[in-house]
Amino acid sequence: MTESGRRWRIVVDQDSCMGSGVCVGDLPHRFRIVGDRSQPVDAEIGADEEVLAAADSCPREAIRVVDVATGEVLAPLE
């Protein structure tokens, strides 16, 4: 976990997600497969650098991580 007190929102674009399960394999405590698509276990979390890496490694860039306080998109990186 990084800077205490920061809150991040995890959003999975269900239209983009292909259900590869890469995120679930990397972070089963953060993602799960429901039906044939990924979903976050918790939509809002404390700052967690591993979630940024999961968003950046998503084959379809379907995972977006947003800073709750600022609205800044933290991942995926452009």
pLDDT-derived band at 4 (thresholds 50, 70, 90) equals: low
- What is the per-residue pLDDT for 2? 46
pLDDT in tens, 10-67: 999 999 999 999 999 999 999 999 999 999 999 999 999 999 999 999 999 999 999 9
Q: Which residue has the tokens 């995926």?
A: 76
Query: Does the domain at residues 7-75 carry the CATH identifier 3.40.50.150?
Result: no
**Which two three-digit tokens encode residue 44?**
């809002």
Whether the predicted pLDDT of 1 surpasses 50: no
What is the value of pTM for the model shown?
Answer: 0.90
- Exposed, middle or buried, 75 (CB in 10 Å: 0-12/13-18/19+)? buried
Domain edges within the chain: 7-75
